[in-house]
Amino acid sequence: MSVNDAHSDFRNEQWIRDQEQGRNPDGGAAGAGVGAGTDAVAGVSATGKRARTVGVVRAARELELRRGEFELAAQLGHIRTIAGPAAGRRQVTRQEIDRLRAAEGFPDALRELVRTVGTAEGAELISVSPGRFTRLARAGCVAPVTFYLNRYRAVVWLYLADELKKFADKEPALLTGRLPRPLRLGSDADEDRRPRNWRGRRIGHLLHQSEDPWERAAVVGSVLDPAHLAELVRDPYERACLNRLRPELAPGHPESEAAQATVRRLLLADHPDEIQWHRGSLDVLLEEARRTRPGEPAPGLAGPPVDGLTDDDDPGDDRTEPVPETASGPPLRRDDRKGLLTRLRIRRERRPKPGFGASAPRR
């Protein structure tokens, strides 16, 4: 579990404890600021009724799902979530939890909807060889829903078991007999559409989850490399806004630089058709965002854009300039002033030494 996930779990658990103790997690007593006889949206009302919404940790516990299963179920739309009181945090209504718990076959039926399998298990599930399954996946016949990196930093794609069963029922001709010619050429000669299909699916999930026009534009822009993004978004304020709202596409947070480089390659669109499609989508979403908030292109920015770029700057470098390093060792401060120890060291180095062109001190 990453640090961000652990922090989120801690905050959600704290929110649940506040609910159970009758306190409003946003401050004050439960039901504060709410009219008599009404339920608080997030917390326990003064009348003692149950909270109308709960955090994702408690919702996953009541639905008997692991955290990964819950997140996947929410992405796929099996669990409807709403925006919570804190930015970037989702919640689940009590009505939604009751609906899922009352469904037939709970909780096994819900778990089956989000059960994921790898290549070997997926091939066994639809009764084909692992090699045939890989060719079908590379050709885009089945789309992965997520991935992870194994100990060798190789990408392991995961597929929904429920989708594989539906594919086997719909396309039985691809499971036996001679494959079509493009699939017979082998995995090396065929284009691998798994990263592209995963990106499209992930973007669709995020767009469905967000209603803010600038957030939706940031979702599409997150799969374009900085050069394409700067070419489309010439305004540095708008570009800074999109960078600020950029979502987390990949699951987990790799620690090593090599693993991070592998994940970064999966996040960016690399096929001309895919790049053109996202560029067109970003144009449409930006026009909608500008019409919605024309006077506020970059929410939350009070000064110049964080990347400090103008239209004449290098479009491929949206990062802040690094702090320059002085010849004497430590870097300069932001205001170009050196620390006290640095000044003393420079003064000592500049002091003339006996026997090197300077007169020795008198005794």
Query: Which token pair is 150?
Result: 């194994």
pLDDT at 210: 87
Chain-centre distance for alpha carbon 321: 25
Evaluate whether 46 touches 23 at the Cβ level (below 8 Å): no
Give the span between the Cα atoms of 116 and 110, in whole angstroms: 13
pLDDT at 236: 93
pLDDT at 191: 82
pLDDT at 96: 95
Evaluate whether 232 touches 323 at the Cβ level (below 8 Å): no
Nearest CA to 117 out of 103, 140, 137, 138 is that of 137
- Convert the pLDDT of each residue in 150-173 to its tens digit: 999 999 999 999 999 999 999 999
In which element (H, E) is residue 82 found? strand 82-83
Q: Output phi, psi for 66, to 5 deg.
A: -70, 165
Evaluate whether 92 touches 56 at the Cβ level (below 8 Å): yes
For 111-126, letters b (16+ CB in 10 Å) and e give bebbbbbbbebbbebb
Give the span between the Cα atoms of 331 and 299, in whole angstroms: 33
- Please provide the distance, in angstroms rounded to a whole number, between the alpha carbons at the two ends of the chain: 69
Q: What does the angle CA 298 – CA 302 – CA 307 come to, to the nearest 5 degrees? A: 65
Evaluate whether 214 touches 241 at the Cβ level (below 8 Å): yes
Q: Do the bridges between strand 116-117 and strand 155-160 make them parallel or antiparallel, or are there none, so unpaired? A: antiparallel
Q: Output phi, psi for 312, to 5 deg.
A: -95, -5
Nearest CA to 298 out of 232, 238, 210 is that of 238
pLDDT at 7: 40
Tokens 């692991």, residue located: 66
pLDDT at 252: 79
pLDDT at 312: 40
Query: Which token pair is 104?
Result: 């037939």
Residues in the chain: 363
Give the span between the Cα atoms of 216 and 226, in whole angstroms: 17
The CA radius of gyration of the chain, in Å to the nearest whole number, is: 28
Tokens 């045939």, residue located: 132
Cα separations in angstroms, 302 against 212, 237, 298, 299, 309? 20, 10, 9, 8, 16
Question: What are the pLDDT tens digits along the chain (363 aa)?
Answer: 443 444 444 444 544 444 444 443 433 333 333 333 333 334 444 344 567 999 999 999 999 999 999 999 999 999 999 887 776 688 999 999 999 999 999 999 999 999 999 999 999 999 999 999 999 999 999 999 999 999 999 999 999 999 999 999 999 999 998 888 767 665 455 589 999 999 999 999 999 888 899 999 999 999 999 999 999 999 999 999 999 999 999 887 788 899 999 999 999 999 999 999 999 999 999 999 999 876 555 444 433 343 333 334 334 434 333 333 333 333 333 344 445 455 555 555 555 555 544 444 444
DSSP letter string, 217-248: HHHHHTTS-HHHHHHH---HHHHHHHHHT---
Task: For residue 29, list its beta bridge partners.
Answer: 23
pLDDT at 120: 96
